[in-house]
């Protein structure tokens, strides 16, 4: 089985988890295909008057536990199998943190950096029209993902609201606060990563004070993590992004680095650190490594050189299946993406609930509930992995499949 195909990779993990817990073969068969895959053409008129057509997708993997939940990404590398894999990943992720959603995902194959703001809005609205039959507060609730943000969600929500003739605030999450967004949604993924990191350090008998961390990515998740980990007493010694990398053994200054990135667009060239080849970040000796960029960056070759004691996956699918066995052999603990970065979908659940209630929660309540959900999920995964004598990743998949399997069983098969 090819590990380069993200859909085959997630199927490998589902099949492995199914064998671990003795999942019924019929249930496995139902999870081995998405419930529905919609491909749409997304034509827009460019500012120069020409029409360009992009390809978009929305995938529902499983609705056994509730309406679909999953982000929308705008990226030139988006493909049907990538979206299918990410939708299946969301099925598992929502089950791990025990929120009442199934797995979904969407994307448009486009480089958004070539579009003006007006063109980006037209692309979003046309894509929203294309997938309108699949989304809704009780059907499928999109959220921001790679290269999409609160503005994109606002355009999507407005489009669906205009078409339906009613205010559909619950059709998306990650919205601006002014139209029903939730306090605490921004930074929730990073906060969830921090909660899991603290718990993992505790279980491994390590102290965070003075411990070294490296982070790949300085975007919506990686950027806040530099500050959060530093505030927790860690030394973030290296950060890389698409533009380059920086290294300082004494620890990077989070505020000054953030200011540099805001000014230049990359961590590269930060004056209070040495330059670092991005690929070399994994070789650095440290206690913690956080991949917070795109998928598939930890290959077998990278796993052999990994200098960290603990990996906490802030990105979706950063570790290839071929690397898992190597990391396990080298006694490197991995807190998997379906647990570690589930703070985002947990906060999305909170936002969806608030939209349905028509009542905004206080920021303290959001933070308190996020802490409780993520800590409970971590404990369940850690306990199950110890019971099964497997890695946390396999334990997390086992927990998720037990919950999804139970939902499929009690619902039965219609007709």
Q: What is the pLDDT of residue 5?
A: 87
The number of beta carbons lying within 10 Å of the beta carbon of residue 296 is 17
Q: In sequence order, which ranges of 97-149 are alpha helices (DSSP H)? A: 117-131
CATH of the domain at 110: 3.40.50.10860
d(CA 73, CA 389): 36
Containing 37, the helix (H) or strand (E) segment is strand 36-45
Residue range 131-165, pLDDT digits in tens: 999 999 999 999 999 899 999 999 999 999 999 99
What is the full DSSP assignment across 319-355?
A: B-HHHHHHHHHTT-EEE-HHHHTTHHHHHHHHHHHHH
Q: What is the pLDDT of residue 1?
A: 36
Cβ neighbours of residue 160 under 8 Å, at least 6 residues apart? Answer: 128, 132, 135, 136, 168, 171
Residues 320, 204: one domain? yes
Kindly state whether residue 120 falls inside one of the protein's structural domains: yes
Residue range 208-220, pLDDT digits in tens: 999 999 999 999 9
Q: For residue 148, what are the domain limits?
A: 6-168
Record the pTM: 0.95
Residues 200, 310: one domain? yes
Q: What is the pLDDT of residue 295?
A: 84
**387-404: b (≥16 Cβ within 10 Å) or e:** eeebbbbbbbbbbbbbbb
pLDDT tens string, the chain, 415 residues long: the values are 344 788 998 999 999 999 999 999 999 999 999 999 999 999 999 999 999 999 999 999 999 999 999 999 999 999 999 999 999 999 999 999 999 999 999 999 999 999 999 999 999 999 999 999 999 999 999 999 989 999 999 999 999 999 999 999 999 999 999 999 999 998 999 999 999 999 999 999 999 999 999 999 999 999 999 999 999 999 999 999 999 999 999 999 999 999 999 999 999 999 999 999 999 999 999 999 999 998 889 999 999 999 999 999 999 889 998 999 999 999 999 999 999 999 999 999 999 999 999 999 999 999 999 999 999 999 999 999 999 999 999 999 999 999 999 999 999 999 9
Kindly state whether residue 304 falls inside one of the protein's structural domains: yes
Q: Which of 313, 335, 357 is the last residue of a domain?
A: 335
Kindly state whether residue 318 falls inside one of the protein's structural domains: yes
With 0-12 / 13-18 / 19 or more C-beta atoms within 10 angstroms meaning exposed / middle / buried, residue 132 is middle
Residues 12, 138: one domain? yes
Where do we find the tokens 């300082």? 248
Contact 239, 245 (CB under 8 A): yes
Residues 154, 193: one domain? no
Q: How many residues appear in the chain?
A: 415
Kindly state whether residue 389 falls inside one of the protein's structural domains: no
CATH of the domain at 313: 3.40.50.720
Cβ neighbours of residue 18 under 8 Å, at least 6 residues apart? Answer: 27, 28, 31, 401
Kindly state whether residue 179 falls inside one of the protein's structural domains: no
Contact 97, 65 (CB under 8 A): no
The helix/strand/coil state of 217 is coil
Cβ neighbours of residue 163 under 8 Å, at least 6 residues apart? Answer: 129, 132
Cα 225–chain centre separation: 14
Q: In sequence order, which ranges of 165-214 are alpha helices (DSSP H)? A: 188-203
Kindly state whether residue 178 falls inside one of the protein's structural domains: no
Q: What is the pLDDT of residue 294?
A: 80
Ramachandran assignment for 22, one of left (phi > 0), alpha (psi -120 to 50 degrees), beta (any other): left
Pairing of strands 68-75, 102-109: parallel
Kindly state whether residue 59 falls inside one of the protein's structural domains: yes
Residues tagged active-site: 105
- What is the percent of the chain where pLDDT is above 90? 96
The tally of domains found in the chain comes to 2
Residues 20, 69: one domain? yes
d(CA 28, CA 405): 8
Kindly state whether residue 300 falls inside one of the protein's structural domains: yes
Q: Which of 287, 305, 335 is the last residue of a domain?
A: 335
Residues 19, 154: one domain? yes
d(CA 212, CA 201): 12
Residues 299, 193: one domain? yes
Cβ neighbours of residue 179 under 8 Å, at least 6 residues apart? Answer: 154, 157, 169
Average pLDDT of the chain, as a whole number: 96
Q: Could you list the beta-strand ranges (E) of 253-409.
A: 274-275, 286-291, 308-312, 333-335
Residues 103, 148: one domain? yes
Residues 155, 201: one domain? no
Residues 48, 148: one domain? yes
**CA-based torsion, 369, 374, 379, 380: positive or negative:** positive
Containing 42, the helix (H) or strand (E) segment is strand 36-45
Q: Which of 317, 335, 353 is the last residue of a domain?
A: 335
Residues 240, 294: one domain? yes
Residues 213, 161: one domain? no
């Amino acid at each position: 089985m090819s590990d380069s195909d993200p859909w085959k990779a997630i199927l490998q993990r589902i099949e492995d988890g199914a064998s671990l817990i003795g999942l019924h073969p019929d249930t496995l068969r139902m999870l081995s295909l998405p419930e529905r895959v919609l491909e749409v053409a997304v034509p827009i008129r460019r500012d120069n008057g020409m029409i360009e057509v992009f390809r978009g997708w929305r995938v529902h993997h499983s609705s056994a536990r509730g309406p679909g939940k999953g982000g929308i990404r705008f990226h030139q590398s988006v493909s049907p199998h990538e979206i299918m894999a990410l939708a299946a990943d969301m099925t598992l992720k929502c089950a791990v943190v025990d929120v009442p959603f199934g797995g979904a995902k969407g994307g448009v194959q486009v480089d958004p950096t070539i579009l003006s703001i007006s063109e980006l809005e037209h692309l979003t609205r046309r894509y929203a029209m294309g997938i309108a039959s699949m989304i809704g507060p009780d059907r499928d609730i999109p959220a921001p993902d790679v290269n999409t943000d609160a503005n994109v969600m606002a355009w999507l929500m407005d489009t669906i609201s205009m078409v339906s003739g009613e205010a559909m605030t619950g059709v998306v999450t990650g919205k601006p606060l002014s139209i029903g967004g939730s306090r605490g949604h921004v930074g929730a993924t990073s906060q969830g990563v921090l909660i899991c990191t603290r718990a993992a350090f505790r279980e491994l008998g390590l102290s965070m004070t003075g411990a070294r961390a490296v982070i790949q990515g300085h975007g919506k998740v990686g950027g806040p993590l530099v500050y959060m980990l530093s505030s927790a007493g860690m030394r973030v010694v290296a950060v890389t992004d698409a533009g380059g990398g920086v290294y300082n053994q004494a620890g990077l200054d989070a505020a000054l680095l953030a200011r540099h990135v805001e000014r230049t667009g990359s961590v590269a060239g930060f004056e209070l650190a040495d330059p670092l080849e991005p690929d070399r970040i994994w070789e650095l000796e440290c206690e913690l490594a956080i991949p917070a960029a795109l998928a598939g960056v930890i290959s077998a070759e990278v796993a052999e050189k990994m200098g960290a004691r603990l990996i906490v996956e802030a990105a979706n699918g950063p570790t290839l299946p071929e690397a898992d066995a190597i990391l396990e052999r080298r006694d490197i603990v991995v807190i998997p993406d379906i647990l570690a970065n589930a703070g985002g979908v947990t906060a999305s659940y909170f936002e969806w609930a608030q939209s349905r209630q028509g009542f905004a929660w206080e920021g303290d309540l959001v933070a308190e509930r996020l802490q409780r959900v993520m800590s409970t999920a971590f404990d369940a995964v850690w306990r199950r992995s110890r019971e099964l004598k497997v890695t946390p990743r396999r334990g997390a998949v086992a927990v998720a499949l037990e919950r999804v399997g139970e939902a499929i069983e009690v619902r039965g098969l219609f007709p």
